């Protein structure tokens, strides 16, 4: 059913028509890519470049988990759970593609709108590789 994510109602897509839901899915896929890519790049920088990178990563992870049950409820109500999922899904996508075809071929992703991942490809990185790299 449109508007339901993991058994939870997603107000944004519940109130949208089919075309709007499709556009929301495309924007969400691009945001997942950008947020996941930022996470991967930060993790690869390493302490030689940014001595506190491990501490930064630890704080990001703690903040994303939330503090307690009230925080969890607020995150759901405000849609922040979906935002955290974008970070995770995007990072998994980026790592999987880089592992499969390398950083140089991954960077094809930035060359045109047609090379950006489709919503279904965020959860299936190999599909993006097949579509873009044959």
Q: How confident is the model at residue 6 (pLDDT cuts 50, 70, 90)?
A: very low
CA 110 to chain centroid: 16
Q: How confident is the model at residue 127 (pLDDT cuts 50, 70, 90)?
A: very high
Instruction: Tell me what pLDDT residue 5 has.
Output: 44
pLDDT digits (tens, 9 = 90+) for 32-81: 999 899 888 888 887 787 888 788 778 776 766 655 566 556 556 555 55
Q: Identify which has the larger pLDDT, 13 or 93.
A: 93
Tokens of 23: 């556009």
Model confidence pTM above 0.85 = no
Bridging pattern class, strands 4-5 and 8-9: antiparallel
Whether the per-residue pLDDT at 3 is higher than 50: the answer is no
Q: How confident is the model at residue 1 (pLDDT cuts 50, 70, 90)?
A: very low
Instruction: Tell me what pLDDT residue 64 has.
Output: 62
């Amino acid at each position: 059913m449109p508007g339901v994510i993991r058994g939870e109602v997603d107000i944004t897509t519940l109130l949208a028509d089919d075309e709007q839901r499709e556009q929301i899915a495309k924007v969400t896929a691009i945001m997942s890519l950008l947020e996941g890519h930022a996470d991967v790049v930060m993790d690869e920088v390493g302490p030689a470049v940014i001595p506190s990178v491990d501490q930064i990563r630890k704080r990001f992870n703690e903040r994303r988990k939330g503090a307690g049950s009230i925080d969890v409820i607020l995150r759901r109500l405000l849609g922040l759970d979906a935002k955290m999922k974008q970070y995770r899904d995007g990072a998994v996508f980026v790592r999987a593609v880089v592992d499969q075809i390398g950083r140089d071929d991954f960077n094809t992703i930035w060359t045109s709108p047609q090379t950006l991942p489709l919503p279904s490809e965020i959860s299936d990185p190999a599909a993006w590789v097949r579509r873009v790299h044959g």
